[in-house]
Amino acid sequence: MFLLPLKFVFTKHLFRTYLHNVFYELISLETVKMLNIIIMNTKEKNFETKLIHSGAIKDQFGAVVTPIYQTSTFSFENADDGADKFAKRKPGYIYTRIANPTIQDFEDAMADLENGFGGIAVASGMAAVNLVYMGFLKSGDHIVASEAVYGPSRVVLEKFYTQYNIESTFVDTSDLNEIEKAFKPNTKLLYVETPTNPTMVITDLEKAAKIAHDRGIIIAVDNTFSSPYLQKPLDLGCDIVLHSITKFINGHADVVGGVVVTKTKEHFDKLNSLMILTGANMDPHQAYLVRRGLKTLSIRMDRAEKNAMEIAEFLESHPKIEWVSYPGLKSHPQHELAKKQMSGFGALMSFEVKGGLKAGKIIMDNVKVSVLAVSLGGIETLIQHPASMTHAAMGKQDKIEAGITDGLIRLSVGIEDINDLINDLKQALEKV
């Protein structure tokens, strides 16, 4: 709970005013940014320089790396100082759920990298998803989303948001006509994941954004698979971008977290207040680890993408593979769109082994270098079976419609030696 400055003598009116200031407006992004002296203005710098220097603050000790401010609350100099900060007459930190220098460093960096107004760091990728859902949907509203969206992103809409009278329709968002046909008079949000998980279907974000905006609909994009290094949805006209930073942003499989970046101040203020009120904030130590991982994003992505391309070509030419879905392959139906919309093809792919589920299990049970585990985007190569793992909660027909077959295998390629990775898949395929 907040401790109130002694000078406050409460009437019912004053108490309501206090609650409004603390819980709704709180601390503006502009005010928070006044608190720190930024070491470098990176707005005009190139991406790799932003990765290293964006958001970094200059503290009284001259720390090169933003310290971990592992504190729940911040002290005031005196009663007037506390009163001024609560009333927003004076910049200052109050409580870590509201704002924290370590978390702010990461949020500012992500906003800079996505070319957005502001970033909101939260406790998990699903916290980011629900922040967007809760922020833009109310009872009686309708959402259109990608049919092959991350399993829990879909299940939470179908299982929980329905009890609040919120409708959802899932379509192949790579087909713009399907998006238009799915819109209703009460549609408020278009939620796109591109490339999709795990089918690697790509949506034309620029055209999708125009379709949505022509009808006054907000478009939010889950950019987890690409990261801002390969794709910038806000530059393509979208309103909101979000990430499970557990994946490529952090890149080391040791932190769970999420982030939302908005294009406008209006959307930032709305979602930031909601984050504070729901207690979805990221922890300072999480933020420190993620900010550290973020600095090597481009190096990791370059290496993983190079490996992924070679593996995709190897699998596509293998006689025991039915098909491979990887945007970098010319056989991918949206290869040209990927070249236009993205600056690289990423490190994710899906493929199917001849022999279906039984053959797929043989592969997963016999790899020695690739790790059998869910999640993605780390420095290690991960292999998994979506139909029985990440998308198991989806109904069978829903999986079929989304292209998630029983034999589909998803591979998140890491930065190991490429020969070791290919030889590992080769020996596993020999057992099929």
Residues 72 and 176 in one domain: yes
Distance from C-alpha of 79 to C-alpha of 6, rounded to nearest angstrom:
6
Number of domains the chain is built from? 2
Tell me whether strands 371-372 and 382-384 are parallel, antiparallel or unpaired: parallel
In this structure, the answer to whether residues 239 and 313 fall within a common structural domain is: no
| One domain for residues 265 and 307 | no
The whole-chain average pLDDT of the chain stands at 90
Asked if the model's pLDDT at residue 295 lies above 60, the reply is yes
Residue-wise pLDDT tens digits, 392-420: 777 777 777 777 777 889 999 999 999 99
pLDDT band at 197 (very low <50, low <70, confident <90, very high): confident
Q: Please tell me the predicted confidence (pLDDT) of residue 33.
A: 53
Among residues of the chain, what percentage have pLDDT more than 70? 90
Of 244, 262, 294, the domain-final residue: 294
Residues 388, 263 share a domain: no
Residue type, 142: H
Whether residues 165 and 255 share a domain: the answer is yes
End-to-end distance of the chain based on CA atoms, in angstroms? 60
When pLDDT is averaged across residues 119-144 and rounded to a whole number, the result is: 98
pLDDT for residue 28: 53
Q: Using one digit for the tens of pLDDT, what is the confidence trace for 199-246?
A: 899 999 999 999 999 999 999 999 999 999 999 999 999 999 999 999
Tell me what pLDDT residue 15 has. Answer: 41
Instruction: Report the CATH number at residue 395.
Output: 3.90.1150.10
Same domain, 307 and 378: yes
Mark whether 81 and 190 lie in a shared domain. yes
Residues 127 and 164 in one domain: yes
Domain-located, residue 3: no
Same domain for 346 and 226, yes or no, is: no
Tell me whether residue 129 is in a domain: yes
Lowest-pLDDT range, 83-97, 221-235, 283-297?
A: 83-97
pTM beyond 0.95, yes or no: no
Say what the pLDDT of residue 171 is.
Answer: 96
Of 246, 270, 294, the residue that ends a domain is 294
Query: Cis omega before residue 319 (within 30°)?
Result: no
- The residues that are catalytic are 97, 150, 222, 247
Mean pLDDT within 134-145: 98
Residues 163 and 283 in one domain: yes
DSSP per-residue string spanning 398-415: HHHHTT--TTEEEEE--S
The token pair at 30 is 């502009």
Report in angstroms the alpha-carbon separations of 81 from 2, 34, 92, 115, 128: 15, 16, 9, 34, 33
pLDDT (average), residues 269-281: 97
Q: Where are the beta strands (DSSP E) in 245-394?
A: 258-262, 321-325, 348-353, 371-372, 382-384
Q: Does a structural domain hold residue 416? A: yes
6-21 pLDDT tens trace: 333 334 444 444 444 4
Structure tokens that stand for 65 in this block: 């790396």
Same domain? For 317 and 236 the reply is no
Contacts of 34 (CB under 8 A, 6+ apart): 91
Residue 336 lies in a domain: yes
**Final residue of a domain: which of 254, 276, 294?**
294
170 is a domain residue: yes
Structure token digits, residue 358:
């039984």
Domain of 164: which CATH number? 3.40.640.10
Domain-embedded: residue 2 = no
Residue-wise pLDDT for 302-333, tens only, equals: 999 999 999 999 999 999 999 999 999 999 99
Structure tokens of 96?
């870590």
Question: Does one domain contain both 170 and 272?
Answer: yes
> What average pLDDT does the segment 109-121 reach?
97
Q: Which residues contact 75 (CB under 8 A, 6 or more apart)?
A: none
Domain residues for the domain of 18 are 12-294
